[in-house]
Structure 1
Amino acid sequence: MKKITTLILLCVCVITKAQSIISIQEAIANYDYETALKLIEKERTVTTKLLFQKAQALKGLNLPTDALEVFRRITITEPENQRALIEMAECYKLLGNFTDALGCYEKVLQLNPTNKYVQLQHINLLCSLERFKAGKSACDELMKNDSSVVSKRLLALCYEGLEESDSAITCYNTILQTVPEDYLSVARLANLYIKANKMEAAIKCTETYREKDSTNLFVNKQNALAYCLNKDYPIATQRYEYLVNQGDSSHLTCYYLGICYYATENFYEAHDFLNIALKNDPKNVNLLYYMARSCAKTSWKKEGVEYMNQAIALTIPSDTTLTRLYIGLADCYKLAGMPQNQIEALQEQYKYDSKNTKLLYQMGAIYQDALKNNKKAEQYLEMYLKTKPKEKTEEATQLNSKGEIEVGEAAYYNATTKRLEQIRKDRFFKEGIPEKEFKKKEVSTAKEMITVE
C-alpha cells in the first residue's frame, strides 16, 4: 500500500512539474514575460533550461543587464554553451557594448567556425566598429562556403569602409546581375556613384529598378538626389514631391526639395521646405544661403537679410577663433625650430588681437635672439615701448590667483629697454656709429633680459 501511495505521489509531482513547465512555455510563447518570471521563481530546482527561460523573459522585458547576468551564470558552469554565448552577445549589443559582443561571437566561432548566423553577426559588428579590414577577412572566410546576396553585400560594405569604391561597385553590380530586385544593393550602388560624381550612372541604375518597382523609398531617395545634383530640377522635384506625399519628412528630403523649388523659381515653396530643414540644421551655411535668397524673393525680405548675415558669420571665423589658431601655429613653429615662420604666425595673430601688445615684444625678441636681425628687432621693440602707459605700471613680478609668481607688465618694458640698449651697443662696436641718446624713464629691476613665451 505504501508503495502504491508513493508511486501515486510521484506521478502527481511529475504531472504538476509538467504542467508548470507547460505554463512557463505558454507564457513565454504569448510574450507574457512577467507571468513567466513569477512561475519560474516558484520552481525549486533550477535547471539550465529554466535559466534560459528566465533570461529570455528578462530580455523580452527590455532588461538586458539582468538577462546578461543569467546567461553569464550558465556559461560559468557550461563555458562551451554556444547558445548562451550568442545570447550574451545579443544582450551586449542591446547595451551598446559592441566590443564584448564581438568577443562572445568570436568564442562561438572558435567552437563552431562554420556557424553562418554567428559569422554574419560577427562581420556586421566589425563593420559597426569600423574594423573593415578584419571584416573583409571574415567575409572572405564566409564566402568560401557561402555566396549569398547577404555575404556579398557585407563584402561590398567592407570595401566601402576601406574606401575601395571600385571594388564595392563591382560587388553591388555582381549582386544585381543575379538578384536585380535587391533594393539595398541598388540604393548603395547609386550612393557610391553619387559620391564619385557619376550622376548619370546613379540615375541609370535607380531608373532600371524603378521600372520594376517605383515605390521603394530607399531607391527613390537616391534617384531624386542624383537628378537634383545633376541639375535636372523638374524631375528631381517630382521625385521629392512623391517622397513627401509618402510621408517622408526627413531633413535631406526637405532640404533638397527646397533647393529644387528655388532652382525652378518656386520661391514660396522653397521657403517652406527650407524652413523645415533649417530647424534640424540651423548652422548649415548653404541652407542659410538658399533660405535667405528665397526670403528675399518672397514676403520675408528682412528675414532674408538676417539669414544671410548668419551665413556670413558662420563662414568667417571669429577673431577669437583665429587668434587661438595662430597662437597654436606660432607655438608649433617655435617647437619645430622655425623662427621666421613663428614670427609670421605672430604677425597674423596680432591682426586679430592688436590689444595684446606683448606680441610686439615677442617678435622683437625672436628677431634679436633667433634670427640675429637687430634692425627688425629694434623696430618691433620700439613699437612695443611706445605702448607703455604714462601712469605707473604693475610690478615686474606678481602673484596670480593661484599664488604663483608671474611676469608683470613692468618686466616686459624693462626687458625691452635693456634689449634696445644692447642692440645700440652692438651697432656702435660694429659700425662705429655713436649710440643715440636713449632716455631711461625707469631704472630696470631685472638683472638680465627675459624671454617671454
Structure 2
Amino acid sequence: MKIWLCICLFIFGISTFTAQGIDKEKLLEYYESQRYADAAQYLQSIYPEDTKDIKALTQMAYCYMMSGKLSEAEKNYIKVNAAEPNNIPVLFSLAHINSRRGNGTKAKTYLLQIIQLDSLNFNAYRQLAGFGDTAEARLNYLKKANTLNRTDPDVAYDLSATYRELKQYQQAYDILKTAIDADEGNFTLQLAQLPLANQLGKYKEVIETGEKLVKEKADANVINEMGQAYFYLKEYKRCADVFKTLEDLGIQNEGTLYYMALSYRELKEYDKATEYAKKTIEEGISNHTALYYIALAGIYEKKNQFSEALEAYKRGLMFNNSSAIYYHLGLLFEFNLKQPKNAVTYYNLYLKNKPDQDKEKEQIAYAKARITALTSKT
C-alpha cells in the first residue's frame, strides 16, 4: 500500500514537470521498479546543476535518499529548504538523513524546528526521544508524544521502559495498560507489562496473562515471570514445576534456580532444596552470591546440619561482609551450636556492619538485647 501511494504521488509530481524533454513514462518505470538511483540520475541529466525548480529538486532528493545516496539527497533537500523554509516534510527528510548518517545533533536540530512550527507534531516528539542520552532526557518527549496519542504501541512501549528505568513502576504499568486496552492482541505490550505487574504485586494478573501468552509461544521471559508470581502466591509446587521447564530446556539462570531452591525449602524437600541452592551458586558468582549462601545455610539449619550451615555462612562472607550473615551466625552459635561467646562476637559484628536502621529495627533491638543477656551470664 505504501509503495503504491508513493507511486501515485510520484505520478502527480511527474505531471507537474515543465522541463522540455522529460520522458514521463521512463520516470514512472524507474519508480515502479524502485530504481531510484536511475531516476535521480535521469532527472539530474535534464536539469542544470544550479536549477531552482523546487519540484525537480524535491524529486531528485527523494530518489537519492531512497537509493541510499544520502549526501546527494541532503544537498538537494537543503536547496529546497533554503528556497522554501519551514517546509515540515522537507525538515523531516533532513532529520531522517542525518539520523541515518549518525549525525544526531543535526537531526535533532531539524526536529526541534518542526515542533516550533507545529507544537502538536506527534512524530517529531517521538523521534526526538530517540536522541535522548538519559532516561530523563527521553522522558519529556515521550510524555508529550504519548499525550498526543496514548494508544500508539511504540511510544507506549518506549515510555513505559523509560519509567521502568527510573523505577517509576506504577506509571510504567499504567501507560502500557492504556495501550493494551486499545489493542488487546498486542503480545509485545503484554510481555513488557508482566515484570511490572510482578513488581507491583499483581501476581494473579501475571498468571492469567502469562497463561494466554504461553499458548501463543512458550517464551522463557513469560515462564520466568509466572514462576515468580507463583512463588509470591506461595504456590511453591507450581513455582518449582514452572522453573523446572526452563531447566529442562537448558535456559535456567541463577535467579530461576534460586526460586527453585526456596520453593523446595518451603515444601520441606530439603535434599532438592540443597541441590538447587548449590546449582544457584555454581550458575554464577554475582553480587547476590552472599544471599544464595544464606539460603543454602538456612536449608542446612532446617536439616539440623549445623556444621554445614556454619561453613555456608562463612563462604558467604568471602563474597560480601553481609550484616545478614553476621546476624544469622549469631543465632546459629547461640541456639544451635551453644557457643554464647561466639554468638556475642557475631551479634557485635552485625551491629558494627551498620544494618539498615529502618528495615532491620527488630533485628537490631534483638541483637543488642542478646548481647546484654549473654554477656551478663559470663
Q: TM-score, normalised by structure 1?
A: 0.52
CA distance in 2, matches of 1:21, 1:110: 32
Residue 233 of structure 1 is aligned with which of 276, 301, 306?
306
CA distance in 2, matches of 1:207, 1:94: 32
Cα gap change, 1:162 to 1:50, in 2 (>3 Å): same
- AA of the residue aligned to 1:254: Y
Partner of 2:136: helix, strand, or coil?
Answer: coil
Residue 244 of structure 1 is aligned with which of 298, 307, 317?
317
Kept in 2: contact 1:153–1:172 (CA 8 A): yes
Cα gap change, 1:271 to 1:92, in 2 (>3 Å): closer
1:415 corresponds to: none
CA distance in 2, matches of 1:177, 1:205: 14
Partner of 1:144: helix, strand, or coil?
Answer: helix
Superposed CA offset, 1:165-202 (max 9, x none): 33223223333333374321211122223344544432
- CA deviation after TM superposition for structure 1 residue 141, in Å: 0.4
Cα gap change, 1:20 to 1:123, in 2 (>3 Å): closer
1:56 corresponds to: 130
Kept in 2: contact 1:156–1:171 (CA 8 A): yes
Superposed CA offset, 1:277-301 (max 9, x none): 664224325433444456557xxx8
- CA deviation after TM superposition for structure 1 residue 119, in Å: 2.0
Cα gap change, 1:227 to 1:189, in 2 (>3 Å): same
Superposed CA offset, 1:242-271 (max 9, x none): 32222x234423322343455553356424
Residue 349 of structure 2 is aligned with which of 244, 258, 273?
273
The structure with the largest alpha-carbon Rg is: 1
CA distance in 2, matches of 1:66, 1:81: 16
- CA deviation after TM superposition for structure 1 residue 155, in Å: 1.9
CA distance in 1, matches of 2:108, 2:310: 55
Superposed CA offset, 1:339-388 (max 9, x none): xxxxxxxxxxxxxxxxxxxxxxxxxxxxxxxxxxxxxxxxxxxxxxxxxx
1:384 corresponds to: none
Residue 180 of structure 2 is aligned with which of 101, 106, 109?
109
Cα gap change, 1:192 to 1:14, in 2 (>3 Å): same
The answer to whether 1:257 aligns with 2:320 is: no
Instruction: Name the Cα RMSD after superposition.
Output: 3.9
Q: Which has the higher helix share?
A: 2
CA distance in 1, matches of 2:303, 2:353: 21
Cα gap change, 1:156 to 1:267, in 2 (>3 Å): closer
Residue 253 of structure 2 is aligned with which of 158, 182, 192?
182
CA distance in 1, matches of 2:156, 2:223: 26
Kept in 1: contact 2:126–2:141 (CA 8 A): no
Cα gap change, 1:237 to 1:51, in 2 (>3 Å): same
Kept in 2: contact 1:271–1:295 (CA 8 A): no
1:445 corresponds to: none
Kept in 1: contact 2:254–2:284 (CA 8 A): no
Kept in 1: contact 2:253–2:283 (CA 8 A): no
Kept in 2: contact 1:71–1:88 (CA 8 A): no
Residue 201 of structure 1 is aligned with which of 268, 272, 283?
272
Cα gap change, 1:204 to 1:296, in 2 (>3 Å): farther
CA distance in 2, matches of 1:275, 1:230: 28
Greater relative contact order structure (CA < 8 Å, 6+ sep): 2
Matches within 5 A, 1:16-27: 21=96, 23=98, 26=102
- CA deviation after TM superposition for structure 1 residue 51, in Å: 1.8
2:30 corresponds to: none
2:7 corresponds to: none
CA distance in 2, matches of 1:2, 1:207: 74
Q: TM-score, normalised by structure 2?
A: 0.61
The answer to whether 1:138 aligns with 2:244 is: no
2:51 corresponds to: 4
1:410 corresponds to: none
Superposed CA offset, 1:51-88 (max 9, x none): 2232234572524652343222541xxx6521012223
Partner of 1:249: helix, strand, or coil?
Answer: coil
Task: State the identity as a percent.
Answer: 12
- AA of the residue aligned to 1:62: E
CA distance in 2, matches of 1:170, 1:243: 28
1:152 corresponds to: 223
Matches within 5 A, 1:15-414: 15=78, 21=96, 23=98, 26=102, 40-42=111-113, 48-58=122-132, 60-63=134-137, 66-75=140-149, 80-93=151-164, 98-110=169-181, 113-179=184-250, 181-208=252-279, 210=281, 212-213=282-283, 215=285, 217=289, 219-246=292-319, 248-262=320-334, 264=337, 265=339, 266-267=342-343, 269-276=345-352, 279-280=355-356, 281-284=360-363, 285-292=365-372, 295=375
Partner of 1:193: helix, strand, or coil?
Answer: helix
Partner of 1:4: helix, strand, or coil?
Answer: coil
Contiguous gaps of at least 5 residues in structure 1: 302-453
Contiguous gaps of at least 5 residues in structure 2: 1-47, 62-74, 80-90
